[in-house]
């Protein structure tokens, strides 16, 4: 079923940056980028009425889930997408092992209760900090991860990204993280820094994979930003961390072009880097507030058109020090080109 849905979706794509042909009713997936080992999805947040939310990432993921033969692991900060709930229950009924971890703040919602009623064990973190991951591992081979919570609002109303990666090595990292949370009940900074393949190569491309807060990710991102030679583009739901913010301002002061879109909510607080960057008044440092009347939920940095940083990790102290988060860093210009196209779309829609 998933392959059929992919075929239908690809009928609407162009060969390069893959933008969907306009229709009377805008489809809920805007772009699809693909390579030998990845599929990249961006939402088209038109936010239709709930009874009209069809054809989105929830259905694509559900179809992929139903291909599972052995095991599905899901870490979901928030989860209410009916097609995915249905798929997990069907898998459990077929004898596929299903493990789910969620954040305590969302552990009592109807979708989670429905999983439990159908025999699926759901572990919650029972902390004030967030279990903020949004990832799925299928049969120890396929990993879904990005900024997208598995909810109808995230898929149909918010700007988000989600990437499906075919790599047993990468899947092993996410399964190790799942084991720590699901089996050992270890979360946040108490979780061991035991990722088996932090540095790996997939399809000839260098990839880095980190989990916070057992690993301090903000300094890693800050160091990459400091290496920028030409340009930095970012989309930030929340951006308050000094290691990243100061690195961007320093590079702009040295002549690197920096462009960024901030989610409007919270961008004008004293802790947000939106005001700091505006106050620099540098022609090569340009920032805007997003134009989505709901939420721009990306957490993405693209460096020199070839390094893409993405995942669940907001650029904040809580993400770095307290939450459970995951980050992927992909060093490949073709991969980056899809995120650059999404950046341009969000930038052009943003408030000037």
Q: How confident is the model over 59-86, as pLDDT tens digits? A: 999 999 999 999 999 999 999 999 999 9
Question: Are 182 and 241 members of one domain?
Answer: no
Q: 295-296 and 158-159: which strand pairing? A: parallel
Question: Are 294 and 273 members of one domain?
Answer: yes
Contact 278, 259 (CB under 8 A): no
Question: Are 116 and 209 members of one domain?
Answer: no
Q: How many domains does the chain contain in total? A: 2
| Residue keyed to tokens 């490949």 | 332
Provide the pLDDT confidence category of residue 344 given band limits of 50, 70 and 90: very high
Domain residues for 228?
Answer: 199-349
185 has pLDDT over 60: yes
Question: Are 162 and 214 members of one domain?
Answer: no
Question: Are 206 and 259 members of one domain?
Answer: yes
Domain end: 141, 168, 190, which one?
190
Domain end: 139, 163, 190, which one?
190
Provide the pLDDT confidence category of residue 301 given band limits of 50, 70 and 90: very high
- Mean pLDDT across the stretch 11-31? 43
Cα end-to-end span (Å), the chain: 43
Question: Are 147 and 206 members of one domain?
Answer: no
141 has pLDDT over 90: yes
Question: Are 298 and 185 members of one domain?
Answer: no
Tokens of 58: 């929830």
What integer pLDDT is reported at residue 29 of this predicted model? 72
Provide the pLDDT confidence category of residue 352 given band limits of 50, 70 and 90: confident
Question: Are 181 and 249 members of one domain?
Answer: no
Distances (CA, A) of 307 to 66, 229, 232, 339: 33, 12, 10, 10
CATH of the domain at 310: 3.30.870.10
Question: Are 276 and 309 members of one domain?
Answer: yes
Domain end: 190, 207, 239, which one?
190
Question: Are 157 and 8 members of one domain?
Answer: yes
pTM exceeds cut of 0.75: yes
Query: Over the stretch 273-292, which tens digit does the pLDDT of each residue have?
Result: 999 999 999 999 999 999 99
Question: Are 229 and 116 members of one domain?
Answer: no
Provide the pLDDT confidence category of residue 26 given band limits of 50, 70 and 90: low
20 has pLDDT over 90: no
- The phi, psi pair for 311, rounded to 5°, reads 145, -150
What integer pLDDT is reported at residue 228 of this predicted model? 98
- Mean pLDDT across the stretch 231-243? 98
90 has pLDDT over 90: yes
Mean pLDDT of the chain: 93
Contact 209, 165 (CB under 8 A): no
Tokens of 52: 């009209």
- Mean pLDDT across the stretch 6-28? 39
Question: Are 98 and 170 members of one domain?
Answer: yes
């Amino acid at each position: 079923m998933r392959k059929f849905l992919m075929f239908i979706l690809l009928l609407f794509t162009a060969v390069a940056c893959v933008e969907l042909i306009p229709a009377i009713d805008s489809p809920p997936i805007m772009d699809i980028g693909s390579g030998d080992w990845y599929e990249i999805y961006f939402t088209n947040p038109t936010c239709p009425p709930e009874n009209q939310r069809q054809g989105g990432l929830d259905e694509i993921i559900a179809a992929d889930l139903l291909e599972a033969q052995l095991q599905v692991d899901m870490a979901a900060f928030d989860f209410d997408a009916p097609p995915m709930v249905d798929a997990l229950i069907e898998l459990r009924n077929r004898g596929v092992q299903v493990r789910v971890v969620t954040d305590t703040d969302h552990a009592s919602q109807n979708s989670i209760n429905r999983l439990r009623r159908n025999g699926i064990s759901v572990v919650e973190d029972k902390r004030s900090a967030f279990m903020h991951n949004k990832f799925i591992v299928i049969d120890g081979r396929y990993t879904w991860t990005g900024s997208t919570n598995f909810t109808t609002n995230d898929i149909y109303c918010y700007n988000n990204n989600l990437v499906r990666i075919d790599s047993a090595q990468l899947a092993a990292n996410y399964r190790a993280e799942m084991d720590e949370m699901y089996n050992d009940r270890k979360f946040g900074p108490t979780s061991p820094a035991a990722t088996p393949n932090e540095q790996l190569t997939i399809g000839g491309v260098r990839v880095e994979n980190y989990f916070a807060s057992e690993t301090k990710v903000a300094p890693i991102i800050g160091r990459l930003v400091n290496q920028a030679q030409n340009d930095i583009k970012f989309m930030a739901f929340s951006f308050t961390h000094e290691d990243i913010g100061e690195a961007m301002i320093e590079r702009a002061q040295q002549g690197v072009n920096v462009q960024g879109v901030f989610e409007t909510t919270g961008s004008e607080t004293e802790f947000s880097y939106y005001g700091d960057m505006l106050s620099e008044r540098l022609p090569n440092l340009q920032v805007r507030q997003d134009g989505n009347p709901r939420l721009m939920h990306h957490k993405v940095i693209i460096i020199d058109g070839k390094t893409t940083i993405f995942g669940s990790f907001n650029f904040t102290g809580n993400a770095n020090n307290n939450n459970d988060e995951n980050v992927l860093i992909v060093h490949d210009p073709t991969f980056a080109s899809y995120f650059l196209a999404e950046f341009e779309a969000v930038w052009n829609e943003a408030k000037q």
